[in-house]
Amino acid sequence: MLDIADELNRWVEQGRDFAVATVVAVGGSAPRQPGAALAVDSAGTAIGSVSGGCVEGAVYELCRQALEDGETVLERFGYSDDDAFAVGLTCGGIIDILVTPVRADSVSRPVFAAALAAACAGEAAAVARVTSGPAELLGRALLVRTTDGTGAYEGGLGGHPELDRTVAAEARALLDAGRTATVEIGADGSRCGQPLVVLVESSVPPPRMIVFGAIDFASALVRMGKFLGYHVTVCDARPVFATPTRFPDADEIVVEWPHRYLEGTEVDGRTVLCVLTHDAKFDVPLLELALRLPVAYVGAMGSRRTHEDRNKRLREVGVTELELARLRSPIGLDLGARTPEETALSIAAEIVANRRGGSGVSLTGAHTPIHHDGSRELSGRIGSVA
């Protein structure tokens, strides 16, 4: 639901009634992951997608029905070999869709409104909804906004304070990791005598991409980073090159020695660092620090000769072999890239493969999964709480 927060927030502000269909579990080669949503308002306007087109028509009708009767429903869609015209996924996957009416009289509307507003404002927020369990709890929602351990949450799952606290703690942990997933809660932990499954959707500020080196390749990489949804910073110690004119797409331009900037800026487990300077006086102190930070990716540009010389210099300043193993250098995948744009695509492809667990090899003739986030079972479930 939070993937279409901007549009839904406008609907809330305009006082529209709507129903939202959310992917809550997937199996096999499904086109969208948990959290993907399609919404339909009372006038029949639709936004978003749950399957890339395979089952949108059927889900649209489920939303219209939910708006009419106010009932939350859970529906499974999968491919049927027995009936080629059955509603299902031609890719062979399975998706579970939770359809929730969000009308003016809906108990959970204030929670949804607060979650959507927070997501649109760029604030960290996670909304948890019951996707499997007693009918009276289906679709009930709870919102957490902070990971600071205060225990604060908004809304609730239906008169069970202990359950609310348990779910809030799980949602807070997923929010801290910036993840969307489902959590299984056993009958004892649910306090209602039945096991529950809860979908937690997290909305966090965009991950950071920091590009060191204000060169022509950096300009193309900035554009690619923005395309992938990163908040992109360009850092270079040379003010004549680090300018808004040269990098109009960057969110931030910093004139500073790279290692000094990295020492003082905030990074996390989603941050990617791209070192394009290929100049030892910048690279060595920067990489000495970068390879010891808990970031997602560290890549450095340069020829193989530059790479070997850089590694030698890094060893001389105390960088260990284990730390060096984190360095992606020469940066990017082997695409035969020549132009800045092709090189940026090569770097971006390696970042995506690193993030998603891909191999980087051609899918043609391969027997590896196309999507690495799922599994043979319905995916997105992270464990069970007693």
- pLDDT tens by residue, 169-196: 889 888 877 888 888 887 665 555 678 8
Is residue 320 scored above 70 in pLDDT?
yes
Taking each helix axis from N to C terminus, what angle separates 304-316 and 280-290, rounded to the nearest 10 degrees? 60
Neighbour count for residue 255 (Cβ, 10 Å): 16
Residue identified by tokens 């966090």 is: 204
Quote the distance between the C-alpha of residue 221 and its chain's center: 20
CA distances from 155 to 19, 127, 140, 158 (A): 19, 10, 9, 9
Question: d(Cα 9, Cα 39) in Å, to the nearest integer?
Answer: 12
**CA nearest neighbour of 109 among 136, 127, 132:** 127
Give the bridge partners for 300, in sequence order.
Answer: 275
| Cβ–Cβ < 8 Å for 317, 307 | no
Taking each helix axis from N to C terminus, what angle separates 340-356 and 216-227, rounded to the nearest 10 degrees? 40
Phi, psi for residue 230 in degrees, rounded to 5 = -85, 150
| Cβ–Cβ < 8 Å for 59, 21 | yes
Q: What pLDDT is stored for residue 225 in this prediction?
A: 96
Q: What pLDDT is stored for residue 126 in this prediction?
A: 93
- pLDDT tens by residue, 185-241: 876 655 556 788 899 999 888 899 999 999 989 999 999 999 998 999 999 999 999
Handedness of CA 98, 104, 106, 107 (dihedral sign): positive
278: left (phi over 0), alpha (psi -120 to 50) or beta: left
In this structure, the chain runs to a length of 386
Q: What value does the CA radius of gyration of the chain take, rounded to a whole number of Å? A: 23
Q: If DSSP codes are grouped into helix, strand and coil, which group holds residue 98?
A: strand
| Domains assigned to the chain | 1-106 (no CATH), 107-205 (no CATH), 208-356 (3.40.50.720)
Q: What is the 3-state secondary structure (H, E, C) of 21-61?
A: EEEEEEECCCCCCCCCEEEEECCCCEEECCCCCCCHHHHHH
- pLDDT tens by residue, 34-62: 888 999 999 999 999 987 667 889 999 99
Question: d(Cα 141, Cα 254) in Å, to the nearest integer?
Answer: 41
Neighbour count for residue 322 (Cβ, 10 Å): 8
Give the pTM. Answer: 0.67
Handedness of CA 386, 99, 24, 350 (dihedral sign): negative
Is residue 331 scored above 90 in pLDDT?
yes
Q: What pLDDT is stored for residue 103 in this prediction?
A: 93
Residue 345: pLDDT band by 50, 70, 90 thresholds?
A: very high
